[in-house]
Chains A and B, each alone.
Chain A
Amino acid sequence: MKIENKLEKIKERFSKVIVSLEEKTKNRIYIEISPDCIFEIANFFKELNFRFAIASGVDTPSGIEILYHFSDDKSGKIITLRTLIKDKKDPKIQSITPIIKGAEWIEREIWELLGVNFVGHPNLKHLLLKDDWPEGKYPLRKEKNE
């Protein structure tokens, strides 16, 4: 299926939950969605044969933004799902590891470096940091400098 058809299908099926969809620059598409739809959309992306590349967690003043980057290798486009978790005290989102095995490690990494709880993750424990890393100390959070 061509990428344009795939995007049409995505727009059709998730029209109610997509906040915005734009091709910012050549081959880079960004879709903003609410965090509770991530599992359903990731599952649909898997059916469309999008390859999960990686997820980026960003600490912003308005919340923790997680971007899930998928690649459509036939067309060379990267489709990024942008979600914003507004609650910074106890941020949580559903884990996509049960459907995409390749997401296991990055969810563990975002958990330990930014403090986001991935609900339903089969193995949420330290990946990079030592096991007795002090709790509540998240290296990629910006407030640590204050």
Chain B
Amino acid sequence: MNLKLLTKSIWVFHAACSPCNNCDIEILDLLTPRHDVERFGIVLVGSVRHADALLVTGVPNYKTKDRILQLYKQASQPCLVIAVGSCACGRIMFRESYNSPCDLDKIIPVDIYVPGCPPKPEAMIAGIVKLIKKVNENRK
């Protein structure tokens, strides 16, 4: 499958590991009139099989780490992974938690990290744009 074709319109699936929900609300905020990412062709889909990219939020914990790996495998390849929020990037204050085994990028490969607690919607859009540029450059 030609990765470059993806950059015309990215279909994203939102998967939450163990978030505080803030990043997830800001992701949904992207669909609302102020930011309206649908005009860029970024569409939130209901099934991981239709997704070109996974937006992952939250800290992986013992119950969710297997599920997030399962989801990644279910997505049609190539599937890009965007770690949204500082928790998905590096667990920050939850590093010492007894219920969190490891960072997200030890479970699935991450292509773009969007730090912030939560990252502003503008930061998320910037992250997706960087991803599109990265994918286009790799093809050259």
Contact = CB atoms under 8 A, between A and B. Distances in A.
B62 A130 contact: yes
Interface residues of B, number: 4
A128 B98 CA distance: 12
Interface residues of B: mostly helix, strand, loop or mixed?
A: loop
A77 B63 CA distance: 38
Nearest to B99: A129
Nearest to B61: A130
A130 B98 contact: no
Nearest to B64: A130
B35 to A, nearest CB: 35
Interface in B1-21: none
A76 interface: no
Interface in A94-125: none
Interface residues of A: mostly helix, strand, loop or mixed?
A: loop
Contacts of B98: 139
Interface in B97-120: 98-99
Nearest to A133: B62
Contacts of B99: 128-129, 139
A142 to B, nearest CB: 13
A140 B99 CA distance: 12
Contacts of B63: 130
Contacts of A130: 62-63
Interface of A: 128-130, 133, 139
8 contacts: A128-B99, A129-B62, A129-B99, A130-B62, A130-B63, A133-B62, A139-B98, A139-B99
